[in-house]
Amino acid sequence: MKKIAIIDYGFGNIKSVTNALLFCGADPVVISSPKELSNYGGAVLPGVGAFAPAIQFLKNLNFDKALLDYLSAGKMLYGSCLGFQLLFTRSFENGENVGLNIIEGDVKHFNFTDGKLKIPHMGWNNVELKNGNNIKKMFDGINDSEQFYFVHSYYVALKNPSQIGAITKYGVSFCSAVAIDNVWGSQFHPEKSGNCGLKLMKNFIGAC
């Protein structure tokens, strides 16, 4: 069984990610020290909650530098939901906050004026595959436009559109997944997306 690290910085749905990885045949290990990260070939950065305190905790624990070293060693990372948003340059959730800047882009609030679309964007929505050199590997065995489970009020806008792995439409068309080299992630929760989500997690484990 492949050992996969789950980064615990106080903002993750650790239990759900652990359950899903176990179900997919991996051996998940919850880590809270960046020193442990280099022992693993695969890691998940989960996350629910607000961007500002999350990035602060991650930085206070020195996970920011450790993650950069980890990635430059070519090891696999998966960011889920808030964990996905943390990978970007900056967020505009409650002011402006600097992220990990692993992928260039901004995290923005849904801004609907007609009042018909509810916020948060909560529920199952289609994921249409686009670019990214590993997107086919990430969605291997999953049909284009399958539905995954989302719950979020902010979305990522990439600086370089060719890095958009998949898009989802909710008022705007936003980037819902990326798979660039060893950096994978999604706005949706694969650990809560039924069989499609589990298949995607198996694909990630296989790539680790």
Q: Which is nearer to another protein, 75 or 152 (CB)?
A: 152
Q: Of the candidates 29, 48, 167, 207, which one interacts with another protein according to CB under 8 A? A: 48
Q: Of the candidates 15, 65, 109, 136, which one interacts with another protein according to CB under 8 A? A: 15
Angle of CA points 157, 163, 165, to nearest 5°: 90
> Does 175 qualify as catalytic in the annotation?
no
Q: Which is nearer to another protein, 153 or 160 (CB)?
A: 153
Measured in whole angstroms, the distance separating CA 14 from the mean position of its chain's CA atoms is 14
Q: How far is CA 3 from CA 6, 42, 43, 101, in A?
A: 10, 7, 9, 26
Near another protein in 170-189, by CB under 8 A: 170
Q: Which is nearer to another protein, 49 or 206 (CB)?
A: 49
Rounded to whole angstroms, the Cα distance separating 70 from 62 reads 12
Which residue type does 32 have?
Answer: S
Q: Which of 93, 121, 189, 208 is catalytic?
A: 189
Q: b or e along 176-196 (b: 16 or more beta carbons within 10 Å of the residue's beta carbon)?
A: bbbbbebbbbbbbbbbbbeeb
The DSSP H or E segment spanning 166 is: strand 166-170
* 118 scored as a contact of another protein (CB under 8 A): yes
* 141 scored as a contact of another protein (CB under 8 A): no
Active-site residue numbers? Answer: 81, 189, 191
Binding site for another protein (CB under 8 A): 13, 15-16, 19-20, 22-23, 48-50, 115, 118-126, 147, 149, 151-152, 169-170, 191-195, 197-198
